[in-house]
Amino acid sequence: MDSGKNRQTASRGPVTLADIARLANVSPVTVSRAINTPGLVKPGTLEAIERVIARTGYVPNLLAGGLASRRTKLIAAIVPAVSSTIFAETIEGLNTELVTAGYQLLLGLSGYDPKRELELTRAILARRPDGIILTGITHLKETRAMLTAAGLPIVEIWDSTPSPLDTAVGFSHAAVGALVADHLLRKGYDRYAQIGANDPRAVQRRDGFVQRLSGIAEVELPDLEMNSPSTFRDGRQAMAQLLDRGHGTLGVFCSSDVVAHGALAEAYARGCRMPEDLAIVGFGDFDFAPYTHPPLTTVRIDRRDIGTKAAQSILRKIDGDETVEAMINVDFHIVVRGTA
């Protein structure tokens, strides 16, 4: 194919499947087969088609090609952020499993904003994905109505509920809070406190912590509004408030390891003995947790496994498997280190 033919194709718009068929001297059906099931095409013919595709820069229209089978080979996921390890590893688990199965992952970032989640859901559904993955179980009623009307497989991740939209993969955040309370209670501290962000899952962990200590001890909460994602600075400022309030030994549960790291820095600067005078428990078991001074006690969840299980579940549902569980639980446990 000479440069004139290239210019002629480019000048009239995007290269089409029919253009590839004409330039390779084959039928459009053969080109479609070469793209979707190359093993069924003779090697010489396949090579000729691939050469033409490479020269023209042709990109198959997967949406058009998927209309007959009602498959776009696209799975969408909405997560709060990718800057945090806690979600990044889940995304990696999702992507690895989906790519292996021949699907692509379309990612949307909600920033912990339910209105933003609604906007993303509307935009994503217009692109006709084969399924959608959402973070958490708290959605606006408009979002829920839109998802229900779409009739797609849905998986909600990072949370636990007896009544998911379709399927959920996660764990009870309230149970995490109760587990940490039990751990600190066994140490017998004089005071207990919680430093936490205001996103729904962090609030559930706080409530589980407070409820478990109800009737045993009051839980102090710093006078500090902490938006998600919360920061090292948030943790340090909150710990300063707690230490300024009173005396006695103190057990503190933080909504994330980042917050716990900030709290730890403030405690260390003030010369607190850990875990004798002060205990700190984080959440997430971030990669830095074993290397703080002292090493951070925290709650570990297999973040990647959440993504893997979510991808496996949605792929099974796309294939018509009606045996997928409504609630798939992921284990969690405390990793005991030097701070508690």
Tell me the CATH number for domain 173-301. Answer: 3.40.50.2300
Domain boundaries, the chain: 3-60, 74-172+303-331, 173-301
Over residues 199-217, the mean pLDDT reads 96
Largest CA distance in the chain: 85
User: Which tokens hold the place of 130?
Assistant: 């084969």
Tell me the CATH number for domain 3-60. Answer: 1.10.260.40
Domain pair 74-172+303-331 / 173-301, same fold: yes
User: Which tokens hold the place of 184?
Assistant: 């600190």
The CATH class given to the 74-172+303-331 domain equals alpha beta
- Residue 271, Cβ density class (10 Å: 0-12 exposed, 13-18 middle, ≥19 buried): exposed
**pLDDT of 70 higher than 90:** no
- Predicted confidence band at 60 (pLDDT cuts at 50, 70, 90)? confident
- Predicted confidence band at 15 (pLDDT cuts at 50, 70, 90)? confident
The per-residue pLDDT for range 265-282, each reduced to its tens digit, is: 999 999 999 999 999 999
CA distance to 106, 113, 123, 178, 226, per residue, from 79 (Å): 11, 10, 15, 26, 19
| Partners of 131 in beta bridges | 75
**If you average pLDDT over every residue of the chain, what do you get?**
91
The per-residue pLDDT for range 157-203, each reduced to its tens digit, is: 999 999 999 999 999 999 999 999 999 999 999 999 999 999 999 99
Highest mean pLDDT among 35-49, 70-84, 305-319: 305-319
**pLDDT of 9 higher than 50:** no
- Predicted confidence band at 7 (pLDDT cuts at 50, 70, 90)? very low
The per-residue pLDDT for range 89-108, each reduced to its tens digit, is: 999 999 999 999 999 999 99
Please state, in angstroms and rounded to a whole number, the distance separating the CA atoms of residues 254 and 235.
8
**pLDDT of 330 higher than 70:** yes
Rounded (10°) angle between helices 114-125 and 141-150: 20
Those residues with Cβ within 8 angstroms of residue 315's Cβ, 6 or more apart along the chain or in another chain: 97, 98, 101, 103
Predicted TM-score (pTM) of the model is: 0.80
Task: Kindly give the pairing relationship between strand 250-254 and strand 219-220.
Answer: unpaired
